[in-house]
Structure 1
Amino acid sequence: MAFDQRLNDIVGSAYYVAPEVLHRSYNVEADIWSIGVITYILLCGSRPFFARTESGIFRSVLRADPNFSDSPWPSVTPEGKDFVKRLLNKDHRKRMTASQALTHPWLRDENRAVPLDILIYKLVKSYLRASPLRRSALKALSKALTEDELIYLRAQFNLLEPKDGCVALDNFRTALVKHSTAAMKESRVLDILDSMKPLSYTRMTFEEFCAATISPHQLEALEGWEIIASTAFEYFELEGNRVISVDALAQEMNVGPTAHSILKDWIRGTDGKLNFLGYAKLLHGLTIRSSNTRHH
């Protein structure tokens, strides 16, 4: 299955089914959810989503939050709890990938090789297509990352075998040949490499690689997101924030004139630059909609 292709059949056991499977649009993140369900059961002995009927279980998967307060959860390490919570996020964009899970503090083992993460390719592709303003926003965000996020990004960068501290298109191509799984080879990775051609003429430092390969959606699921976001905005104020009109912002966000009244609230009246809300919205984009974000 191609990594960016969505499947739409409801399959699997009710207890382990991901919300997006029930919405009939899913991909590999649904497997990560199921691993989260299994890990939850292994740690506490009960199911995170339970009801007497199948339709009741489905309702619970879509609407209920797993219980992390009853025994034995108070005695489970914060890392263990965080690990499960980051797998059982109802928004599939906020879930950890398998590679990220292996570099999570709860599972981390410096002697174990980290697999190449296809998400890196997907994010670099969209970064290369991003506007200068959005790139500045992501660069500021990457400067606010915690050491835990940097461990994963360093591992991915090293898999690309940087030369003189930089990577180019050849590095991405070689890493794919060397480290890709059968599933990756069957997916549309070659299409991605094709859209990464601008990297043929440029080299990416680790700093820019971090900006290109972070997912604001995933970071938003972290306990410390508010601190990361406000620190990032301080960097953005110093280096990336600039005067922008409502028209230009509408174009940037890919929305029409009907959104102008909303966008006005994202620009400071004092200097015509983005305020914190505008910065956060710029990071997330408005064109992506998730059918289950309303549950958050």
Structure 2
Amino acid sequence: MGLCHGKPIEPPRHLSENPIIPSDNEPALSTTQTGKTPKFPFYSPSPLPSGFKNSPANSSVSSTPLRLFKRPFPPPSPAKHIRALLARRHGSVKPNEATIPEGSECEIGLDKSFGFAKNFVSHYELGEEVGRGHFGYTCSAKGKKGSLKGQDVAVKVIPKSKMTTAIAIEDVRREVKILRALTGHKNLVQFYESYEDEDNVYVVMELCKGGELLDRILSRGGKYSEEDAKAVMVQILSVVAYCHLQGVVHRDLKPENFLFTSKEEHSPLKAIDFGLSDYVKPDERLNDIVGSAYYVAPEVLHRSYGTEADMWSIGVIAYILLCGSRPFWARTESGIFRAVLKADPSFDEAPWPSLSADAVDFVKRLLNKDYRKRLTAAQALSHPWLAGHHDLKIPLDMIIFKLVKAYTCSSLLRKAALGALAKTLTIAQLTYLREQFTMLGPNKSGYVSVQNFKSAVTRMSTDAMKDSRVLEYVSLVSCLQYKKMDFEEFCAAAISVHQLEGMESWEQHARRAYELFEKDGNRPIMIEELASELGLSPSVPVHVVLQDWIRHSDGKLSFLGFVRLLHGVSSRTFQKA
């Protein structure tokens, strides 16, 4: 369902595959926009019909050079499984695939009434088609009456005949609901109205006339300067941080889904296409596989993901902006998926050695395969690479709520360990935490309570936050019985050990924190006491699993035990081990 408002595309796409752009040794293919074909290995197509939700059913493919890897990828590929899953989801079953509907996922008896207004034709006059996807197309239009009379708009037309499953219908319903709820952010396409008739659903939105971010990248020869890339990333991160705070994950972030409002060089950028978006609570995981192959996060392929998947996609976009090529490449979608799961992006080839260390670190921290170590959108806006940007504003970050909730439930020993770790933070990290602390509204004495958390979120909530049940989650956090905390303790509570562990400086952080812990908080401790601190059940063989946590020489916590304690181990951890 997610459609672009950009240029017409031929052949028709499902929704989310990349345009075909050959490399230097490939025969040139004409493009519908300029008639010219860029000569650098940017987007290369899959030679197979796509198994992803948004890929072209048929692609005309010329040969592309193989990218060599040091070691082969292990079978099996997830591609076949993904194809079957998505075919069932949207009813687009291929000849050799099973046609087993799940639950009510068959066209017979489907209710395709959305409750939208019925008088689209009397309010708008459709113009030329400006984009097409597997489930519909987008046209320019002009308002004939009402508040939008005489105004140019974009209308996404979704034929009801394409809605062949209950899930497909729900996707349309949810897209309109999310667009209506999130309207208001300057980098989000403006939603106006929704209509329906017997044949179609019509989604009326702001018309962006500046073209796709992808086109701008290509017009620049495939890459941006660092300064220009920063301006793009700040806008992308700003709107994604806004969505994530409201409990909405986009799930299809890519250069084609960001449009410029005009042709001007510094035109604002707008996020579009929420056809694959969904709601997610901070403590929940999604499991349906959707997105675009080159931008999909590893955990999506593992069918357990949250808002962190969007941050991976932004990392791919940042990589492309800065060097003009994709971090993960293969001939087939099977190969793409394997590369995403197993391969590491290259930072050795030009132009990476000539880019700033902060730029490289920024991209690496987004393209970490461990989603727990990935930056959030708010944290990425606080990264040193973007520091000082004129349009920079750091929003409230929902990860703070998760971390503080875990901290309040932690043992006194772990709180002391986190306090030592917090004292090793850099100025940039402390700046981010200070911003978050200030947004919570500390009192005149410089303290915040758990009630401050709920108040801060409520001030920024939209209807989307209610639908995603984020407010419900925040209410549970605010019900925790905990004393007020000052900024120093807040830093200990809001620090992410996993994210620090993803940094090259992690070893220095950990060693320095252990030195501080040795000086101020480490004391002789019995294994039984440690087991009690960790909440281990009697069934766990504590003397076996905890013996290397404590130094035999003086009975104090060892460095290994300290690091494990920072991660917040529990009896469940040992049961899995």
* Structure 1 residue 259, shift from structure 2 partner: 5.7
- Mapped pair 1:91 → 2:370: yes
- Mapped pair 1:220 → 2:490: no
Whole-angstrom CA distance in 2 between matches of 1:104 and 1:79: 8
Which residue does the alignment assign to 1:191?
473
Which residue does the alignment assign to 2:290?
11
SS at match of 2:546: helix
Whole-angstrom CA distance in 1 between matches of 2:438 and 2:412: 26
* Structure 1 residue 107, shift from structure 2 partner: 1.4
Q: Greater share of strand residues, 1 or 2?
A: 2
Amino acid at match of 1:67: S
> Mean alpha-carbon deviation: is it higher for 111-120 or for 15-24?
111-120
* Within-5 A mapping of 1:1-296: 1=279, 2-109=281-388, 112-163=392-443, 164-180=445-461, 183-185=464-466, 186-198=468-480, 202-254=483-535, 256-258=539-541, 260-287=543-570
* Structure 1 residue 61, shift from structure 2 partner: 0.7
Amino acid at match of 1:32: M
- For structure 1, the 5+ residue unaligned runs are 290-296
> Mean alpha-carbon deviation: is it higher for 28-37 or for 110-119?
110-119
* Structure 1 residue 179, shift from structure 2 partner: 2.7
Which string of whole-angstrom CA distances, capped at 9 and with x for unpartnered residues, describes residues 206-242 of structure 1? Answer: 0000010001000111121111111111111122222
Whole-angstrom CA distance in 1 between matches of 2:350 and 2:439: 41
> Mean alpha-carbon deviation: is it higher for 210-219 or for 100-109?
100-109
* Structure 1 residue 13, shift from structure 2 partner: 1.1
* Structure 1 residue 194, shift from structure 2 partner: 2.5
Q: Check whether the contact 2:411–2:534 (CA below 8 A) recurs between aligned residues.
A: no
> Mean alpha-carbon deviation: is it higher for 54-63 or for 185-194?
185-194
Decide whether aligned partners of structure 1 residues 183 and 275 sit closer, same or farther in structure 2, where only a CA change above 3 A counts: farther
* Structure 1 residue 41, shift from structure 2 partner: 0.8
- For structure 2, the 5+ residue unaligned runs are 1-278
Whole-angstrom CA distance in 1 between matches of 2:534 and 2:308: 26
Q: Bigger relative contact order, structure 1 or 2, given CA contacts below 8 A and separation 6+?
A: 1
Whole-angstrom CA distance in 1 between matches of 2:462 and 2:489: 26
SS at match of 1:106: helix
Q: Check whether the contact 2:454–2:478 (CA below 8 A) recurs between aligned residues.
A: no
Q: Greater share of helix residues, 1 or 2?
A: 1
* Structure 1 residue 276, shift from structure 2 partner: 0.6
* Structure 1 residue 135, shift from structure 2 partner: 0.7
Decide whether aligned partners of structure 1 residues 193 and 140 sit closer, same or farther in structure 2, where only a CA change above 3 A counts: farther
* Structure 1 residue 55, shift from structure 2 partner: 1.0
Q: Check whether the contact 1:157–1:206 (CA below 8 A) recurs between aligned residues.
A: yes
> Mean alpha-carbon deviation: is it higher for 3-12 or for 94-103?
3-12
Whole-angstrom CA distance in 2 between matches of 1:91 and 1:27: 12
* Structure 1 residue 89, shift from structure 2 partner: 0.5
Paired-residue identity, % = 58
Amino acid at match of 2:316: V
Which string of whole-angstrom CA distances, capped at 9 and with x for unpartnered residues, describes residues 91-116 of structure 1? Answer: 00000000001111111237632110
How many pairs are equivalent? 288
Decide whether aligned partners of structure 1 residues 68 and 184 sit closer, same or farther in structure 2, where only a CA change above 3 A counts: farther
Amino acid at match of 2:479: K
Whole-angstrom CA distance in 2 between matches of 1:188 and 1:283: 27
Q: Check whether the contact 2:382–2:394 (CA below 8 A) recurs between aligned residues.
A: yes
